[in-house]
Amino acid sequence: MKLSTLKDLYIHELKSLFSAETQLVEALPKMAAAATSQDLKAAFEAHLLETKEHGKRLKEVLALAGAGTRGPKCAAMQGLIEEGSSMIEEEADPEVRDAGLVAAAQRVEHYEMAGYGTVCSFAKLLGADDAVLLLQATLNEEAATDQKLTDLAVSAINPLAHEGAEYESSRQLPRRRPEPKTAHTKFESLAGKRVVITGGTTGLGRAIALRLSAEGAKILIFGRHQAELDDALTDIRENDPDVLGLIADASKNEDLEKVFQIVDSEWGGLDVLVNNAGLSGDSLKDTPDEERELTLKTNINGYLTGSRLALDRMKEHSHIILVGSVNADEREPGGSIYVATKAAIQAFAESFRQEAAEDGIRVSLIQPGKTGSDMIEQTPEEQREAEENLEMLKAEDIAVAVEYILTQPRRCNVSSLTVYPARISKDE
């Protein structure tokens, strides 16, 4: 659009700021998770709440100007966030990383202060008094956050980075005790991770969505039935108020493309894909041709197409999880269609893992044993009894296993994980 008047430029700058705030909402949880200092972590978390409010104010200001929020992505903020992300990924002592995070955050604050100062001056010239009040309130909060970060850096974070754990300043900062030695390495945080879960409205997919959203992940789920989608979204919103959900069929390429178009418009990228949508299958003899084709399209093509679409939107350190089944190895009679699909995914996972590794993307196969769901030919009461007898897994058990895979250090890739019930059923 040609910028012919000051108002055109004013709206252009407002949209750029809205894009910047939207990107920052995604970045701050990751910065908070990477911070060692509890004070710094709290500062990032507090500013996240402010940043969400800043976005709401910008919507209101744009509405006052007769404009919407849609506009090009703010490239400047994208670059600043990438700098902050590189600091998170650097191999650094915790105290030094904290100092680097403060530096990255203050660069962001200074950029936003300049932006809000500019639009405030434009609004005054345009006589937009209501907008001036809103924009000035945000400018004041950005300045206060910048000062808070400065105070935190000068009083504690920078001195600790300079002298390490033994530093004690003229202000009599408490001497930090060495961290106890443990056998553990730093786990990856799920906070702010953008996660698509296919078949996320029921069973395993729903349990995985609830588990990951509880750890701060941003979730998109889809399924074929509205009632199940609505029910799942109600529960997930308790963890992620901004959860995304839609009706889509994993057996249809056009539906999968629609899902990832939403990923593009809402998130601008993807960190995790959990390929979970699947149908059960009986023996070849007992399965009508149409039903067999649907199972093959859902269980195999849905996984392959979903993985390809995800790859196009992923950067290094992203992760694709393929939910398989122990039936790929056990191959019992009576379910040859299902066995065929899960054996195919098992083989695909091993080859695909090596292909994706060239781009630094991890691929993991998780193979659950007997797990309670509507795919099991047992009543809910029988399933609960089997769970109590440790003869059947719960969907939540697999969700915890998925969380384990996703939170391992970046140098690790859990290529395959098989989970069985603790006891063997007497019926098997």
**Domain CATH code at residue 391:** 3.40.50.720
Tell whether 159 and 215 lie within a shared domain: no
Residues 155 and 294 in one domain: no
Residue 372 has pLDDT above 90, yes or no: no
User: How big is the chain by its Cα radius of gyration, in Å?
Assistant: 25
User: What does the DSSP assignment read for 221-281?
Assistant: EEES-HHHHHHHHHHHTTT-TT-EEEE--TT-HHHHHHHHHHHHHHTSSEEEEEE------
**Averaged pLDDT, 131-156:** 90
Within-domain flag for 184: no
Considering the domain architecture, whether residues 205 and 60 belong to the same structural domain is answered as no
- Choose the final residue of a domain: 147, 166, 185: 166
Q: What is the Cα–Cα distance from 55 to 138, expressed in whole angstroms?
A: 10
Range 68-82 average pLDDT: 92
159 and 237 share a domain?
no
Q: Is residue 173 part of a domain?
A: no
Q: Do 270 and 141 belong to one domain?
A: no
Number of domains within the chain: 2
Q: Are residues 25 and 123 in the same domain?
A: yes
Whether residue 325 is found in the same domain as residue 224: yes
Say if 276 falls within a structural domain: yes
Considering the domain boundaries, does residue 427 fall inside one?
Answer: no
Instruction: Classify residue 32: in a domain, yes or no.
Output: yes
3-state helix, strand, coil in the chain (%, to 5): 60, 10, 30
Residue 335 is predicted with a pLDDT of 84
Using the predicted structure, report yes or no on whether residue 79 has a pLDDT greater than 60. Answer: yes
Convert the pLDDT of each residue in 183-203 to its tens digit. 555 677 888 899 999 999 999
Q: In which domain, by residue range, is 309 found?
A: 194-419
180 occurs within a structural domain: no
Domain shared by 142 and 210, yes or no = no
Which domain CATH number covers 40? 1.20.1260.10
In a domain, 175, yes or no: no
Question: How many beta carbons lie within 10 A of that of residue 142, not counting itself?
Answer: 24
What would the two tokens of residue 294 be? 């649907």
Is the residue at 182 inside a domain?
Answer: no
pLDDT tens digit string along 294-310? Answer: 999 999 999 999 999 99
Asked if residue 353 and residue 210 are part of one domain, the reply reads: yes
Residues 147, 231, single domain; the answer is: no
Name the band, by pLDDT with cuts 50, 70 and 90, for residue 182.
low
- Tell me the C-alpha distance between 94 and 10, whole Å: 41
- Cβ contact 366:321 at 8 Å: yes
Residue 330 is predicted with a pLDDT of 87
**Per-residue CA distances from 140 to 325, 399, 428 (Å):** 55, 43, 68
Say if residue 264 is in the same domain as residue 314: yes
Residues 115 and 236 in one domain: no
Taking only the tens place, the pLDDT of each residue in 244-283 is 999 999 999 999 999 999 999 999 999 999 999 989 888 8
Tokens at residue 195, please?
């996660």
Cβ(13)–Cβ(4) under 8 Å?
no
